[in-house]
Structure formats: C-alpha cells, structure tokens
Structure 1
Amino acid sequence: MSRPRSAFRVTALLLCLSALTACERADAGKLPSSTASMSGEPRGTPSVATSPAVLQTTGAARPGAANDTVADSITIQRADRGRLMGRENALWVVMISDFQCPYCKQWHDSSMVNLKRDYIEPGKVRMAYLHLPLSNHRHARAQAEASMCAAVQGKFWEYADVLFREQRAFQPIDNPTTKLETIARELSIDLPSFTRCRKSDAIRMLVENDERQASQARVQSTPSFLVGDFLVQGALPYADFRKAIDTALAVAKSRRTR
C-alpha cells in the first residue's frame, strides 16, 4: 500500500467518472504506483479517448444530433451512478478491475461480501468500479460495456456478480453476445434497451474514459484499489484489505478533527 506524495484525493478521480465533469481538471495524474502489493496481471498501454464529459458529433450537423447527444449524456449519467454503492459521504474505495482477470475474481469471491457487510452497509465506505479491460482478455471490453448497460437499468452490481461467477464459461466462446444477453435475461433486464445500449458510442466512450483515468492514476495491474488516499494493488486477503481501509478511515478522521 502506498500513499501519494501529492495532495491527491480519490474524489478527484471519481469526479472524472461523471458525465458532466471536465476530467482534465482533476489532478489524478499525480498518484504514484504502489510498490508494496501483490502481483496482478500487467497491462499494456491504455488507449486514450476523448472524455465522455464532452459528447460531440463529427462532420456536418445531422437531424436529431442534439437529441442524440442529450440521450447519450443521460445514458452515461445513469450508467455512472449505477456503479456506485454506499453512502454519499463515506470513504471512497475505487476498484479498478477486469471481469476476465482471475485475480479480480479471486478478490471478488473472497472479499466482496465481507466488504459490503463490514463497511458499505454500515455506511463507512462508498464503492465504485472503474474498468480496465486487459488487452489479453478478448471479451473483457464487451463485458465492461455490457455491465455499464446493466448499470443504466440499476443492475450493475448484480451483473458484475454473474460475470465473475461465469468467468470460465466465457473462455471458449468466440462471440460473447448470446452469453451477455442470457445474463441480462436472468436479471430481468429489459433486453431491447440493453441491446441498444451496447451498440451506443456513449457506453464505449465511458469505458475508454475509465481506461484513461486508470492510466492517469498510474495503475498497472488488476485488481487495484484506491482506498481513501492510498493505492492498493493485488488480490490481497481480506484481513489485509481491512487494514488498508481502517488506516484510510483513521487518516480521514484525523483530518476532520484538526
């Protein structure tokens, strides 16, 4: 676990997740990478994309373009809110993850239920999910986009649970569409809306923006976590992860009492 030398706040990165925030103003690029963490899977150079904060059409204006931009903005806002869990003024914990990463599944299966019970439900922690689909995982990007379309309908965390549960089932599949739609049906997600969402540029741009934010935070592996002011990398055992959260909570408390 490392602590940034700058005055970086996790909130700055989280603001970049919002469709209406100018991400370029956030000081996320000053967060150093951690040196005391478990090994994850190395990531290649992330793609750099235009922030979805500014959805623009290119070329000549076309009928309905303004309406499309408004619709995209609404889609992004709903997707963005859907991947947050917990009380608004709680300590931020941002999970930077890939649904096909075995280490991410390991952490999810061993720690997520406990984290919800011990910290999220009591109002101590607010959780957010940031996508970092690894280039060697052929369906990771499609899964990330599908999960955000589930988020539009308020089902992000349920969809994420199933993606991790079914991780091995995706490995032999050439085209993940049928499997992604099957999961949507299981969760009573409106399928026509889900399908339209998966084809939208807005969702693609949102996932690409996640990659850019992870790059600015110098995250190199999945899973990684922004816990308060700290960067934690690797699928740490829950006992160790609790120590990171408790340390961050103590730091936050000390600031409030100054």
Structure 2
Amino acid sequence: MRNMLIVAGGVVAVAAIAAGVYFGTRPPAAGPTPVAVAAAPDKTALLAVQPTDHVLGDPKAPITLIEYASFTCPHCAHFHTQILPEIKKKWIDTGKVKLIYRDFPLDQVAAKAAQIAECAPNDRYFGIIDLIFRGQPQWAASQDPIAELGKPLRIAGMGENEIKACLANEAKANEVINDYRGGETLGVNSTPSLFINGTLYKGARSVEELDAAFAKLAK
C-alpha cells in the first residue's frame, strides 16, 4: 500500500517530493502516557497557531488541539471519521477547543495527498481532508493511489488538471515539508500525534480520553 523498502527488519524512509528531504515510515504508537513538551523558544511557537496553519473552530478558543497526521495512516483515518465528529460537536463547535491540523506524511503517497489538500481553498480544506480520510481504504490500497484519490476529489472541484498543477507547485510542497519538520522539532515520530495545550498524546485516543483531557483544562 505504501512505497516502503523493508530491509534488515527495519523500514527505510522513501523518496520525498523535494530533494534532500525525507518522510520516514513509522508505525503508529499505541497510546502511551501523555508527555509535556519542553518549552524551548522554537517549540513554544510551534505549539501556537502559525500563519500557514489550518484551524477548525474559533482561533481564539482557550484549548488548542494540534494534530499531526498522515493520509495513509489508518489510525488517523479512524480519528477523523469516528472520533473527531464527536469532539467537534462537543468541544470545537461550542468554542472551547480549536483544532490545528498539520501534515506528518509517513510515505511519499501521503506526502502527495497532503500537497493536493494544501491546494484546496481555506474554506474547503477540512472538507477535502475529510474526503481523503473517508476514502482511504479505496485509494491508498490501489495500484495508482493518486489517480484513485482524484476520483472523489472531483466533486470538490479538483480535477485531473488541478491535481497535476498542484503537485508541480513547489510552494505547496514546502508547506507540507515545513509541517513535517515542525513535527520533528516537537518530538513527533508517529501518527496520529496530538498536542493538547502543549502536552503530547501519541497514538490512537478514544473520545472518552480526549473528553477527560479537555474537561481538566476547561475548569
């Protein structure tokens, strides 16, 4: 499903969409104990809204949820299709939590999908990534994932020509790369990785776990 090279019992990073930069293929973690991130100056900035960030909800919401995800990660798809709708209804739509979505592609296919999503207008970005995650079982497992991904994106106004132009857009590629590098700076090495007001939660999390984390901060 992914362009991975398996050697000596390990997984080797695949070629990236820009020279000199790689996206490593790493398995998702299983939800270890949350860890507070040290507040170095560069890390502090990354734990706040950046100019290029995609934000769901009120940007002034007191609780900040940052998600680092890969479009070929099944756990990320589960979060977006099964967990996020409940979180959105209870916490984001009520103005208590804002979600910042950032790319951390685990392989070249995920990197290209992320680049395509970056070409979506801001007001349609989260609708596009919802389409991508919901269709993941079909397009990610196909022989030509990007061509297959293009099928559901047509209804969002992204045809073959738009996708080709997007994949040739160096600025959009750099946005994905910058997200990835920022994630590495914060200690991200698997997906999904969630930061809730600066505390790192690795791996799949239930609605109940996230409810509890938000409730503590909302007091």
Higher-Rg member (1/2): 1
Give the whole-Å Cα distance in 1 for the aligned partners of 2:82 and 2:116.
24
1:88 aligns with 2:59: yes
Q: Does 1:3 align with 2:3?
A: no
Q: Does 1:144 align with 2:114?
A: yes
2:64 partner SS: strand
Equivalent residues of 2:131, 2:153 under 8 A apart: no
Whole-Å separation in 1 of the counterparts to 2:173 and 2:36: 32
Counterpart of 1:61 in structure 2 is: none
Cα drift, residue 7 of structure 1 = 7.0
Equivalent of 2:92 in 115, 120, 134: 120
Aligned to 1:13: 46
Moved more, 87-96 or 182-191: 182-191
Q: Give the conservation status (yes or no) of the 8 Å contact 1:93–1:127.
A: yes
Distance 1:168 1:207 in 2: 22
Q: When the two structures are aligned, how many residues end up with a matched partner?
A: 185
Displacement after TM superposition at 1:16 (Å):
7.5
Amino acid aligned to 1:115: I
Structure 1 residues 123, 100: closer, same or farther in 2, change over 3 A?
same
In the alignment, which of 179, 187, 190 is matched to residue 221 of structure 1? 190
Structure 1 contact 104–222 (Cα < 8 Å) conserved: yes
Task: Report the aligned-residue RMSD.
Answer: 2.4
Identity value in percent: 25
Task: Provide TM-score, normalisation by structure 2.
Answer: 0.75
Deviates more, 1:121-130 or 1:153-162: 153-162
Q: Which amino acid is the alignment partner of residue 167 of structure 1? A: Q
SS at match of 1:206: helix
SS in 1 for 2:36: coil
Distance in 2, Cα, partners of 1:92 & 1:217? 15
Contact 1:98 1:140 in 2 (8 A): yes
Contact 2:194 2:201 in 1 (8 A): yes
* SS of residue in 1 equivalent to 2:72: coil
User: Does the C-alpha gap of structure 1 residues 106 and 84 become closer, same or farther in structure 2, counting only changes over 3 Å?
Assistant: same
Q: Determine which structure has the larger strand proportion and give its number.
A: 2
Q: Is there any run of 5+ residues in structure 2 with no aligned partner, and where?
A: 1-33
Decide whether the 8 Å contact of 1:16 with 1:213 is kept in 2: no
Give the alignment of 1:237-248 within 5 angstroms.
237-248=206-217
1:231 is matched with: 200
Structure 1 residue ranges without an equivalent (≥5): 19-79, 251-258
